[in-house]
Amino acid sequence: MLTKWESEQRIIRLQTELRARQIDGALIIYPIDVYYFTGTRQNATLWVPAEGNPLLLVRKSLSRAVKESLIEETRPFPSSKEFPALIPAEAKTIGLTFDVIPVQQYQYYGKMLPGREFVDISAVNREIRAVKSAWELERMRESGARLCEVFRQLPEFLRPGMRELDLAAEFECRLRKAGSEGYVRMRAFNQELFQGLAVSAATAGHPGFFDGAVTGRGLSAASPHGASAEAIAPGTPVLVDYTGIFQGYIVDMTRIFVIGDLDPELRRAFDTALAIQEQLVANLKPGAVCEELFLASAAMAEGAGLARNYMGAPGENARFVGHGVGLELDELPVLAQGFKAPLQAGQTIAIEPKFVLPGLGVVGIENTFAVTEGGGEKLTDLPDGIVSL
């Protein structure tokens, strides 16, 4: 359970950022954002004035929100007539997260609060969340340890001839029994992920909508990501890339399995991924610039003659090598071209150098790390090597 102190610190950080931008208050209405600040993920709207006490207005379930909420003023959502009186008239400029709020919601609040100016606080909201507290780092370590336990069991059920889908089902079954909450929250407008990917051989290399190196073929054009019904053959790389979600905190990791032996070309690409990870982790320190980390990794891929295979199918390569994780799978920072921000201690990042070799398969590594003065702290502490069965 989130603590009162955590909630207070988060709200103070938001209020500081609001004041620095001359914003008079924020309406937090996206569910996971409400949870982050209040400790309850019910259907509710949080009003955070730039100064003073926040107010949580609950639609459903009120009784549950009252039990969980760390906000002193937690009340039923008022009628549209009563709502405006709860937002002080002095609050002329109000922040909303334009990245996730549908136009209908925006218009609804605009109608209830005429004469106010709404401004986008998406970036501020994401930046606050990117840096984890000591309490959150403990949650992330716990999530990492529990996800590793499931990966450790994989040799018990990976069998030649089973479909990617069967491997996914067996993995997901154990993941759920280990307590993973399953629903993967993503913030980007057009992204979807069902827990993770169990994909193999050339099928794994199918390009897709997913903003990552690997999408998988999936089961139909309607759900074109993750495991397919293809059978897993000996001698081909089986890429298992899954999230584990515990108390809302997501970690993300990938390991490669093979029944029998792997093609030397794939092994060499895998070793390059490990070398890239090693260099990135050594530099995962406060002050390192996101973009530079990515460019350095891309240079290593190029040095190994694998530029066109790096982070995607040739011609559809993603230009990133790592993404923030926490309550959402796509948090800040992003180790990608165009991201000039320096890392900060306490950020948690999934690093995932991967290579797509058309016709052969996909290999690579992924671990979730925390940024520390001494470099990346590995939160998914399991050996990185290819597991041969």
Does the protein bind a copy of itself through residue 104 (CB under 8 A)?
A: yes
Sign of the Cα torsion 278, 279, 280, 284 reads positive
Nearer to a copy of itself by C-beta: 135 or 183?
A: 183
Amino acid at 153: Q
Does the protein bind a copy of itself through residue 93 (CB under 8 A)?
A: no
Q: Mark 301-336 as b/e (b = at least 16 C-beta within 10 Å).
A: beebebebbbbbbeeebbebbbbbbbbbbbbbbbbb
Nearer to a copy of itself by C-beta: 207 or 235?
A: 207
Which residues, 265 to 304, sit near a copy of itself by CB under 8 A? Answer: none
Stretch that binds a copy of itself, among 33-41, 48-56, 256-264, 366-374 (CB under 8 A): 33-41
Q: At closest approach, how far in Å is the CB of 224 from a copy of itself?
A: 6
Binding mask 186-205 for a copy of itself (x = CB under 8 A): ---xx-xxxx----------
Does the protein bind a copy of itself through residue 358 (CB under 8 A)?
A: no
- 11 sits in which H/E element: helix 4-20
Which residues, 141 to 170, sit near a copy of itself by CB under 8 A? Answer: 165-166, 168-170
Compute how many residues bind a copy of itself; rule: CB under 8 A.
Answer: 75
Amino acid at 341: A
Does the protein bind a copy of itself through residue 172 (CB under 8 A)?
A: yes
Q: In terms of DSSP bridges, do strands 361-364 and 348-351 run parallel, antiparallel, or are they unpaired? A: unpaired
Stretch that binds a copy of itself, among 77-85, 253-261, 310-318, 360-368 (CB under 8 A): 310-318
Q: At closest approach, how far in Å is the CB of 303 from a copy of itself?
A: 27
Does the protein bind a copy of itself through residue 63 (CB under 8 A)?
A: yes
Does the protein bind a copy of itself through residue 235 (CB under 8 A)?
A: no
Binder among 23, 28, 94, 100 for a copy of itself (CB under 8 A): 100
Which residues, 248 to 267, sit near a copy of itself by CB under 8 A? Answer: 248-249
Among residues 194, 208, 205, which one has the least CA distance to residue 165? 194
Stretch that binds a copy of itself, among 219-227, 251-259, 271-279, 365-373 (CB under 8 A): 219-227
Does the protein bind a copy of itself through residue 35 (CB under 8 A)?
A: yes
**In Å, how far are 142, 199, 348, 367, 379 from 138, measured between CA atoms?**
6, 31, 12, 16, 10
Q: Are 347 and 325 in contact (CB under 8 A)?
A: no
Does the protein bind a copy of itself through residue 123 (CB under 8 A)?
A: no
Nearer to a copy of itself by C-beta: 107 or 388?
A: 107
Distance CA 365, CA 206 (A): 18
Q: At closest approach, how far in Å is the CB of 323 from a copy of itself?
A: 16
Rounded to 5 degrees, φ, ψ at 319 are -105, 60
Amino acid at 19: R
Distance CA 380, CA 373 (A): 19
Nearer to a copy of itself by C-beta: 85 or 222?
A: 222
Q: At closest approach, how far in Å is the CB of 274 from a copy of itself?
A: 27
Distance CA 147, CA 168 (A): 14
Sign of the Cα torsion 91, 93, 96, 101 reads positive
Sequence-distant (6+) residues with CB within 8 A of 241 are: 196, 197, 198, 199, 214, 252, 253, 254, 352, 366
Q: At closest approach, how far in Å is the CB of 262 from a copy of itself?
A: 26
From the CA atom positions of the chain, what is the Rg in Å?
22
